Amino acid sequence: MESNGIAGKHGMEGDADLQFLLTGGDLLKVRSSSWKKTRFYKLQEDCRTMWHESHKKLKSKQTFSLDDIEAVRAGRQSEGLQKYTEEQVEGRCFSIIFKGHRKNLDLIASSEEEAKQWVTALEKILSNMRNLSQQQKTEHWILNCMRKADKNCDNKMSLKELKHFLHQVNVEVDDDYAEMLFEKCDHSKSGHLEGPEIEHFYKLLTEREEIDVIYGKYAQTDGQMSGTDLLNFLLREQRQAVSLDDALKIIEKCEVDDTAKDKQQMTKDGFLMYLHHPEAMILNPTHKEVYQDMTQPLNHYFISSSHNTYLMEDQLKGPSSTEAYIRALMKSCRCVELDCWDGSEGEPVIYHGYTLTSKILFKDVIKAIKEYAFKTSEYPVILSLENHCSVEQQKLMAKHMTSILGSTLLTEPLGDQMPTNFPSPEELKGRFLIKGKRLNKLDAFYTPESTGEDDSVSEDDEAADAQEDEEKKPKKSKLKLAKELSDIVIYCKSVHFNGFEDARDNKAFYEMSSFKEGKAVKLAEESANDFIHHNVNKLSRIYPAGSRADSSNYNPVPLWAAGCQIVALNFQTPSKEMDLNQGCFLPNGMSGYILKPAYLRDATSEFDPITLTRGEWLQHKTLHIMVISGQQLPKINKKKQKSIVDPLVRVEIYGVPADMAEKETYHVDNNGFNPMWNEQFQFEVYVPELALVRFVVEDYDSTSQNDLIGQYTLPFTSLQNGYRHIPLLTKNGDVIPSAGLFVHIMVVDAQ
């Protein structure tokens, strides 16, 4: 049953790329300039695990799961390959990048064709695995598949056969749970299941009492749901504006039993399929695409922004890496920070000044940014320069940016007359904007005789702050600025903030300030309305205090509520604050841009998030949430295999101070497979457009802090009503394949 059963699971029977991976081959593994060794790699029969030979005596595990791969990158993209290989092997190189902090695997194939084949084949099988949930329409449903999986026709199923079968019908099951259920069903203790034991296994696996109840209530046609029954459910429970035709389309798409489908009816299995369909999940499917107006001025949007983007870990000793830029950009971050210093070989480098973080070449970072900036989002990327370089190396910086970024770099204002406002994200698609110091005003483009000002400008805000934080450092308040670098700063000229009044009277729209978090939070608390007006025609960038040596984060929500656009967080640090950032930027096609509510774009706005006077922002809603059940929650502690989780769920609301709230369920002892809570919560939300909802699942511990099992955050305005499944993400933001929460949501206008 082995290979074709599973090949079928990927919809890749007889696929040449799959055969290539199953056959495997020798690759040169690169660890340093002296450690380059040939190793054999192949895909195992389960089509989910790669095997590789290892010459370590003690290394028991010679495999890694395809689920652990973040990306496959062709060429010398990783630092290892750039450092330890010569340019002429470019075409033969590729890297496997893992999720989390695991080291990359840098490989060299024996020819360019072979390297291409490895990359194509791996990318194909990864993309097939990721799209599985769309392929859930397995024609021959469960028992059929079981017959097919039983290759030797002995009417018995070993655990291995069962696992293959489960992957094939795409019932995602954690291996531990599969073994637990298998043992429960193997009454004869023979190591095989047969006949009724197999059916028992399937029943246990798909048993969802809570869904039986809902299905039972609406299945009014010979024990099944007709189109009209399903329509009733969609109108009454899911509160969707749909027709009978829509209901029949869902049956056509999700029903797994052909006999029922022919009668235009839905079985319980089909109903479960529908509830797991991406469009039926908690996130409103219309928000998955870019649905907002993208033609407003750039400063009318919240912009997903990163701080110390070059760091993989903390800012005292962590490695600097081009990979960190790639990861942030792939998460649709649209403003990245480059901390530039003079390099020893005459080439500028990027690292965290005065610390032990490693250094990377400025030009390598620009190459990586060019390559990955627009893969997740086509909207503009701002390169925020923290410049500590000599004039000579600044000229090189300008040269690298103009030559590498070419026409994608914005080097002059759009239009033929002096602009009075920002262009829109739509007009700037696929373009890079440089944020940094500029020697003169933007008018210089339109008045040829304008003279350059003094060629020294005061130090960047962030650098100056860092010096305040650590008096020991040499003071240098003036920085000489190269004209070449100054000239490519167009819409984001860094200036010092001297109060809202000065900004209003003396600063042009393109002159923007950066605020250290403490100062920004104070302004957002004490003069929120002034801050909002400031941000109606200017940009503000906020960044974490230099004292956060562990690269921890601050809460971005109060700063968004004050209209700040570029609220920069440490993307490299998994944290609740990063969850909020990813949740805020989840809708609108994950474009990295979210249009601010109208009252944050209006020069006469009276909105103040603290005092909350009456106005269009007050749209008081009551949110009713019933936390019903959980599915296949992963074990936290893989080492203690027996430690089953004791899960609880907490629902948190973030927004204006009046909306901040959290409530949690009791914990269920020893059950991660199908815990049931059935607890109801009610929240009052006054400013829905600024609210985020975060669902957190934790492993309860009476003696120490609870461990995070998974979480999911989304904007209040993107919630769907009704019975909804919620996917769960790890602390790094990766989806946990088989886990989820099941809830009922009802948002009503408060009386």
Burial class (CB in 10 A: 0-12, 13-18, 19+), 688: buried
The reply to whether 424 sits in an annotated binding site is no
Task: Please report the pLDDT score of residue 171 as a whole number.
Answer: 55
Torsion (CA) 640, 642, 643, 644 in degrees, nearest 10: 140
Contact 120, 17 (CB under 8 A): yes
3-state percent breakdown (helix, strand, coil) of the chain, nearest 5: 35, 25, 40
Closest of 724, 726, 751 to residue 741, by C-alpha: 726
Residue with tokens 């403490």: 518
Contact 168, 144 (CB under 8 A): no
The reply to whether 51 sits in an annotated binding site is yes
Residue 139 predicted with pLDDT over 60: no
98-118 average pLDDT score:
92
Residue 134 predicted with pLDDT over 50: no
Amino acid at 412: E
Structural domains of the chain ordered from first start? 2-130 (2.30.29.30), 142-284 (1.10.238.10), 298-444+453-600 (3.20.20.190), 621-749 (2.60.40.150)
Task: Please report the pLDDT score of residue 637 as a whole number.
Answer: 66
Who has greater pLDDT, 9 or 416? Answer: 416
Residue 199 predicted with pLDDT over 60: yes
156-167 average pLDDT score:
72
Contact 656, 612 (CB under 8 A): yes
Residue 473 predicted with pLDDT over 60: no
Phi, psi (deg, nearest 5) at residue 695: -100, 125
Contact 492, 381 (CB under 8 A): no
Q: How confident is the model at residue 4 (pLDDT cuts 50, 70, 90)?
A: very low
285-312 average pLDDT score:
95
Secondary structure (DSSP) of 402-467 = HHHHGGGB--S-SSSS--SSPPPTTTTTT-EEEEE--SS-GGGGT-TTPPP--SEEEPPHHHHHHH
- Asked which of 98-102, 331-335, 534-538, 600-604 is least confident by mean pLDDT, the reply is 98-102
The reply to whether 29 sits in an annotated binding site is yes
pTM for the whole thing?
A: 0.84
Measuring CA to CA, how many Å separate 317 from each of 311, 314, 569?
9, 6, 19
692-718 average pLDDT score:
94
Residue 142 predicted with pLDDT over 80: no
The reply to whether 577 sits in an annotated binding site is no
Q: What is the pLDDT of residues 486-510, one digit of tens each?
A: 999 999 999 999 999 999 999 999 9
- Asked which of 22-36, 158-172, 726-740 is least confident by mean pLDDT, the reply is 158-172
The reply to whether 151 sits in an annotated binding site is no
The reply to whether 37 sits in an annotated binding site is yes
Rounded CA separation 458/437 (Å): 9
The reply to whether 213 sits in an annotated binding site is no
Task: Please report the pLDDT score of residue 459 as a whole number.
Answer: 63
Task: Please report the pLDDT score of residue 433 as a whole number.
Answer: 98
The reply to whether 36 sits in an annotated binding site is yes
The reply to whether 541 sits in an annotated binding site is yes
Q: What is the pLDDT of residues 656-688, one digit of tens each?
A: 999 999 999 999 988 888 899 999 999 999 999
The reply to whether 314 sits in an annotated binding site is no
Q: Is 175 helix (H, G, I), strand (E, B) or coil?
A: helix
The reply to whether 551 sits in an annotated binding site is no
| Active-site residue, selected from the candidate residues 287, 307, 533, 667 | 307
Rounded CA separation 519/530 (Å): 14
192-216 average pLDDT score:
81
Rounded CA separation 211/723 (Å): 10
Task: Please report the pLDDT score of residue 1 as a whole number.
Answer: 30
Contact 201, 181 (CB under 8 A): yes
Q: Which residues of 152-173 are buried (b: 16+ CB within 10 A; e: fewer)?
A: eeeebbbbebbbbbbbbbbbbb
Mean pLDDT estimate for the chain: 87
Tell me the percentage of the chain whose pLDDT exceeds 70: 87
| Active-site residue, selected from the candidate residues 352, 388, 534, 744 | 352
Residue 194 predicted with pLDDT over 70: yes
Residue 59 predicted with pLDDT over 70: no
Rounded CA separation 533/263 (Å): 60
Rounded CA separation 137/273 (Å): 8
Q: What is the pLDDT of residues 424-466, one digit of tens each?
A: 999 999 999 999 999 999 888 888 655 555 566 666 666 666 5
Secondary structure (DSSP) of 576-603 = HHHHHHHHHTSTGGG-SEEEPPGGGS-T
544-549 average pLDDT score:
84
Which DSSP symbol is given to 721? P
Contact 360, 400 (CB under 8 A): no
Residue 593 predicted with pLDDT over 70: yes
Task: Please report the pLDDT score of residue 130 as a whole number.
Answer: 73
Tell me the percentage of the chain whose pLDDT exceeds 90: 62
The reply to whether 15 sits in an annotated binding site is no
The reply to whether 699 sits in an annotated binding site is yes
The reply to whether 601 sits in an annotated binding site is no
The reply to whether 56 sits in an annotated binding site is yes
Q: How confident is the model at residue 63 (pLDDT cuts 50, 70, 90)?
A: confident
Within its chain, how far is the Cα of 26 from the centroid?
Answer: 34
Residue 293 predicted with pLDDT over 90: yes
Q: Degrees (nearest 5) of the Cα angle 487, 492, 493?
A: 60
Q: How confident is the model at residue 378 (pLDDT cuts 50, 70, 90)?
A: very high
Task: Please report the pLDDT score of residue 472 as a whole number.
Answer: 47
Q: How confident is the model at residue 563 (pLDDT cuts 50, 70, 90)?
A: very high
Catalytic residue at 307?
A: yes
Q: Which residues pair with 568 in a beta bridge?
A: 305
**Cα atoms in the 13 Å half-sphere on the side-chain side of 502:** 8
Residue 392 predicted with pLDDT over 50: yes
Task: Please report the pLDDT score of residue 460 as a whole number.
Answer: 66
Catalytic residue at 352?
A: yes
The reply to whether 50 sits in an annotated binding site is yes
The reply to whether 45 sits in an annotated binding site is yes
Measuring CA to CA, how many Å separate 597 from each of 231, 342, 536, 606, 617?
34, 42, 11, 13, 8
Task: Please report the pLDDT score of residue 701 as a whole number.
Answer: 87
Q: What is the pLDDT of residues 738-748, one digit of tens each?
A: 789 999 999 99
